[in-house]
Structure 1
């Protein structure tokens, strides 16, 4: 087993400090390294569990996601508990809740000047602590004295002995991710799905199946193509703890789709159909027609406006990586358009599915004039160390 953790961006005086953890070895060894990082950074500790639910979750992971089950055994060693214990949950390597706004666009190889599939992603989130965010969503006000919940993100590069190498980016949960790419060229990004109807997240605790942030990592661990991902999602139990999310999934060949779940648990697959595929924070299966989009209101965080802009800019015949970055910057959340929400675009990523890389710059704060300040763009490869292009 080998591991290495470095500060990849930000630091003292900046809004965030980005860490890059690289692990090579068995899945159990990778799980141990990630649990040690979660304990050191987020003060993670196993949550008390209902024994029947804990046993059912462990059995489900062993049958359906053995990579995660092995990493949980590594986490058990760090926590000093029996990996077969039904008294605690051994995943959820965080101290903080999850969720996001965001904008994502996939451009298939035929639509890029590079001739490779590109995913462009803005990760939009709040600048507050977890306590202040829940108070905000509940219509209350509290004094915000604890660190912002998005201030300690991780890039996780894993090179396991028995599966695909992956590079992932996560805000706060080291056994899940917000986006990532694997060595096969499969990439996944998550977003809030229904900006008008999210409500306050339910603190129900872990359930049997995949949580919102585990779903992307499950696909990156187990699938090589978008078609494999479709089949995996249709056969997999999932839950969202009250904040519905949807996911853009794409592979190096240009095949891509958005995965959504609607009312009554109905599952929807919206295919790219050899065109650019854009998604923000409304359900695409309800709003397929660009001309019929509703107008934004105080609750939607500009989801319809951002979607219109993405569609208009990506309808061009070919788009370069540079133009894709400019498009993402045109729809980012800043002090000027945050609509009284304490939110910003916390990072911008471009995932190159041909080269299996993720290039990201990170929000460091606002200048005196309110303009956002970002780090240099850093490039991470599935299985390789960080480089600055």
Structure 2
């Protein structure tokens, strides 16, 4: 079953937000997602047949939920699910230069005992063509102007609610019915580089990775094992991920410039993340000065740490911390905070405010549950 509602923004606002709720088998969910993507102008991309066959095999073994949804995509497209010429899922490309800030407040530091992630999603308010240095195409909309909130309630397994900017089979923020929450952020802003290849590879694309976790994991320990055992690849700038669960555990997962994998934990205390590699700068009080290419990553992390260390925080305090590091409405700056989310791992909810445009502020706070049936 498919239910689609408009939840924020209007014709004169920067963002128009859609909440899409899908129930049924993973095959049916994949078919419905593909039909919606086609309505928005998506079509499958050609793929190397050898790579594509290996991708399907990897998904079948390690992410069967996604594999079943790809079979649903084939049904929507009238294709043989075993064909090798076309990739039946999204490209999951994040252009160079997006930012973001996030703060995990564990249950022990929360006034009501609920662990929460607060995050700002910072991105260009521009079209994909403009981001790539070209003139916008006729009628081309800004890349982040039509975000989706997607709730999936499969017949079997974990239900979830996610927010995605432009890929219906990936996500930027997510929480599942077990209380596992994931948000993604740029990992190494100062060393970002264009992708060498835009084609799909075997394993998890960087925007698929959070979706993989909310589909397959119930707690932080399971997520660590899933990430360390998975194949994954980046398109464009590398990302890292803040993962937290309903039991009060949290970590940041990132890869080093040499491909090494790192799980960063800060014990039973707040965990702050912005846009530099934490395994290279573990001490939040001993960070480098920001440069023209660091996008104030170090300063934003210092602010989050100073506002959260040694204090008990309410949801309002967490919102105030996010506001302190939000992007200003400055015409000289290329970024805006396009949404601001608080994930409550105890309640299994996403509470989000969406950007409506300079001078228009944000939508009212909207609450989405991962457990409603």
- Cα shift at 1:288: 1.1
Whether 1:380 and 2:368 are equivalent positions in the alignment is yes
- 1:282 maps to which residue? 276
- 2:294 maps to which residue? 300
Distance 2:284 2:248 in 1: 22
Whether 1:224 and 2:212 are equivalent positions in the alignment is no
User: Which digits, 9 at most, give the CA deviation of each residue in 1:169-221, with x for residues without a partner?
Assistant: 00010111001100000000000001111122444211000000110011111
- Cα shift at 1:335: 2.2
- Cα shift at 1:300: 1.8
Give the secondary-structure state (helix, strand or coil) at the position aligned to 2:178.
Answer: coil
Matches within 5 A, 1:325-336: 325-336=319-330
Retained in 2: the 8 A contact 1:45–1:79?
Answer: no
Distance 2:209 2:199 in 1: 16
The normalised TM-score by structure 1 is 0.92
Retained in 2: the 8 A contact 1:93–1:174?
Answer: no
Taking structure 1 as reference, are residues 35 and 321 closer, same or farther at Cα in structure 2, changes over 3 Å only? same
Retained in 1: the 8 A contact 2:118–2:340?
Answer: yes
- Cα shift at 1:93: 6.9
Q: Could you tell me which of 232, 236, 247 is aligned with 2:230? A: 236
- 1:138 maps to which residue? none
Distance 1:207 1:143 in 2: 28
- Cα shift at 1:292: 2.5
Distance 1:142 1:92 in 2: 24
User: Which digits, 9 at most, give the CA deviation of each residue in 1:5-51, with x for residues without a partner?
Assistant: 1111112011011100001100010111111111112x111101111
- Cα shift at 1:383: 3.3
The normalised TM-score by structure 2 is 0.96
Whether 1:212 and 2:206 are equivalent positions in the alignment is yes
Distance 2:5 2:27 in 1: 21
- 2:131 maps to which residue? 133
Matches within 5 A, 1:332-347: 332-336=326-330, 340-347=332-339
Cα RMSD of the aligned pairs, angstroms, is: 1.6
Structure 2's unaligned 5+ residue stretches are none
Whether 1:179 and 2:178 are equivalent positions in the alignment is no
Distance 1:362 1:110 in 2: 29
Matches within 5 A, 1:131-170: 131-135=129-133, 142=135, 146-170=140-164
- 2:10 maps to which residue? 11
Distance 1:143 1:106 in 2: 38
Q: Could you tell me which of 312, 315, 320 is aligned with 1:321? A: 315
Whether 1:365 and 2:357 are equivalent positions in the alignment is yes
User: Which digits, 9 at most, give the CA deviation of each residue in 1:245-304, with x for residues without a partner?
Assistant: 000000011100000100221001101311100000000001112232111122222111
- 1:118 maps to which residue? 116
Taking structure 1 as reference, are residues 266 and 97 closer, same or farther at Cα in structure 2, changes over 3 Å only? closer
Give the secondary-structure state (helix, strand or coil) at the position aligned to 1:189.
Answer: strand
Count of aligned pairs between the two proteins: 371
Taking structure 1 as reference, are residues 265 and 288 closer, same or farther at Cα in structure 2, changes over 3 Å only? same
User: Which digits, 9 at most, give the CA deviation of each residue in 1:88-122, with x for residues without a partner?
Assistant: 0000077x755631001101101001211010010
Retained in 1: the 8 A contact 2:95–2:236?
Answer: no
Taking structure 1 as reference, are residues 202 and 15 closer, same or farther at Cα in structure 2, changes over 3 Å only? farther
Distance 1:14 1:202 in 2: 35
User: Which digits, 9 at most, give the CA deviation of each residue in 1:329-360, with x for residues without a partner?
Assistant: 11001223x8x342100000000000000000
Taking structure 1 as reference, are residues 243 and 93 closer, same or farther at Cα in structure 2, changes over 3 Å only? closer
Distance 2:116 2:88 in 1: 35
Distance 1:284 1:13 in 2: 40
Distance 2:197 2:132 in 1: 11
Taking structure 1 as reference, are residues 40 and 261 closer, same or farther at Cα in structure 2, changes over 3 Å only? same
Distance 2:54 2:265 in 1: 33
- After superposing on structure 2, the runs of 4+ consecutive aligned residues of structure 1 that deviate more than 6 Å are none
Distance 1:143 1:228 in 2: 43
Retained in 2: the 8 A contact 1:248–1:257?
Answer: yes
